[in-house]
Structure 1
Amino acid sequence: LTDLLRVIFLSKPETIFTSEREIKFSELVRFNSIEAARESIVNNEIESVVRRSHHDQFFWMEKRFGMLLREGLDIWPDFIELCERRNLLTHTGGVVSDQYLQNCADYGRNSVFKVGEKLNVDLDYLVKSIGIITEIGCKLIHTMWRKFAPDQRSDADSHLNGFGMDLIAAKEFDTAIKILEFGVNQKQHSSDLCRRMMVVNLANALKLGGNLDRCNRVLSKHDWSATSYQFQICVAAVRDNFEEVCRFLKMGEDVTGITPSNFRDWPVFLEARKQQMVQEAFETVFGEELFRSEAEPSKD
């Protein structure tokens, strides 16, 4: 949060240096330059924000930047509970207090625990917490990025899609779904190409996460017949249409744009790579085995 606010304040100084902001002359003369004074003001503002509770930080950002950061953020109650549990573990050894119960209830998370009971963090809770922080952090950063640097929307879209792919590769399917849904549902994208990439990766995350019906619904909302062969082979792979995957592979790299490393690395081909017919088609087209030894060089 400190890094994010610093980037915003330095790139958009009007968000902090308003006409109402004053600095005493006695304070100003302590600095060697205007830049040093500016840096001090930025540091003090950031420090005042990070000292607040996490929900107050969000309220402050919404007011200062004129944004609805919690709108549609379904994970907000879970985030609040996580922050409140952290406070308990830090200050009371995990013993439930009235403040914990009240703060959770105020933000839509009614607790089953009672005052005096002790909370802990087991592996399931830890894993869920990592997902919560990943989701809320990513969404906050990208919301700010898109607002304050609209000229960088292409980079933002590419990063968001790439992050979703990384999560899929790490088998963090639930978090990948939330991040890619967030990306697909943006009001504006740098291009239809990038949006469709997010759609395909979202469908793949849904399939690998066990929700085949939603996967098919996401894909069916779009016409893929007029898209490039690169898109069509990816959609065929998500739909587990391995015969189609082989047919596209045999068209060759120059036609499909799919390189050996693409096929080996992209999460969209995860299930296809397991199929014997696909492995044979790959070897026929590229003249090398799909699963090569580490010592074997790539022909890319």
Structure 2
Amino acid sequence: MDKEIDMIMRNSFEEQVSWVEKAIGIRKEIKSEHGDWPKIVELFERRNLFTHTNGIVNDRYLKKSVKLKVSGSSALVKGQELFAGSKYLTSALEIICEFGIKIIQVSWRKLSKEHAKIADDRLGDFGFELIERGNYGLAIK
């Protein structure tokens, strides 16, 4: 089990999501259902750049960004330094939060159908909390 977890953790974000889909039997691909899929993949690829290359663009990031049609990717060049300012980080947090809630809800409902009402309640509570905080855009998603 430890070896499998270690292997999964070393995979790309996309491979990790595919593993979850297979492990719990999700029929529709999450990436086809998640509107911000290119953004969340870019986010994890950028995270890898900051972790492994101090934010310096490499071939992998360039190829992924172009493939995903990430805004501004055509202007990027290998060796360029990327930054993550407050606007990017705020957007990244919202994207991760939305994706996290969705994958948790899908997994919960798939693995514990008898607790669907509890899942509904938690989702409603979370949405209400977002509204109370004034985060209407994320609450709508």
Q: Distance in 2 between matches of 1:72 and 1:175?
A: 16
Alpha-carbon shift at residue 45 of structure 1 (Å): 2.8
Matches within 5 A, 1:1-300: 41=1, 43-67=2-26, 68-109=29-70, 111=73, 112-178=75-141
Give the residue type in structure 1 aligned to 2:9.
V
Distance 1:108 1:160 in 2: 31
Report which of the two structures shows the higher radius of gyration computed on alpha carbons: 1
Matched residues, percent identical? 36
With normalisation by structure 2, the TM-score equals 0.88
Kindly state the Cα deviation for residue 48 of structure 1 after the two structures are TM-superposed. 2.3
Q: Aligned equivalents of 1:75 and 1:155: distance in 2? A: 26
The Cα shift of 1:106 comes to: 2.9
> Alpha-carbon deviation of 1:108?
4.1
SS at match of 1:71: helix
| Per-residue CA distance 1:193-222 (angstroms, 9 max, x = gap) | xxxxxxxxxxxxxxxxxxxxxxxxxxxxxx
Cα root mean square deviation, aligned:
1.6
Q: Which has the higher contact order (CA 8 A, sep 6+)?
A: 2
Whole-Å separation in 1 of the counterparts to 2:79 and 2:115: 50
Distance 2:25 2:112 in 1: 15
The amino acid of 1:77's aligned partner reads P
Tell me the matched-pair count: 137
Q: In structure 1, what residue type is equivalent to 2:117? A: S
Partner of 1:277: none
For residues 69 and 111 of structure 2, the distance between their equivalents in structure 1, rounded to whole angstroms, comes to 30
Q: Deviations over 1:245-268 (max 9, x none)?
A: xxxxxxxxxxxxxxxxxxxxxxxx
Equivalent-residue separation in structure 2 for 1:171 and 1:44 (angstroms):
43
Give the distance between the partners of 1:140 and 1:97, measured in 2 at CA: 29
The Cα shift of 1:129 comes to: 0.6
Q: Partner letter of residue 131 of structure 1?
A: E
Structure 2 counterpart SS, 1:70: helix
Task: Write out the 4+ residue segments of structure 1 that deviate beyond 6 Å after TM superposition.
Answer: none
Deviation at 1:44, TM superposition (A): 3.5
Supply the distance in 1 between the matched residues of 2:70 and 2:24 (Cα, whole angstroms): 27
Higher helix share: 2
Query: Which runs of 5 or more structure 2 residues have no equivalent in the other structure?
Result: none
Instruction: Provide the TM-score with structure 1 as the length reference.
Output: 0.43
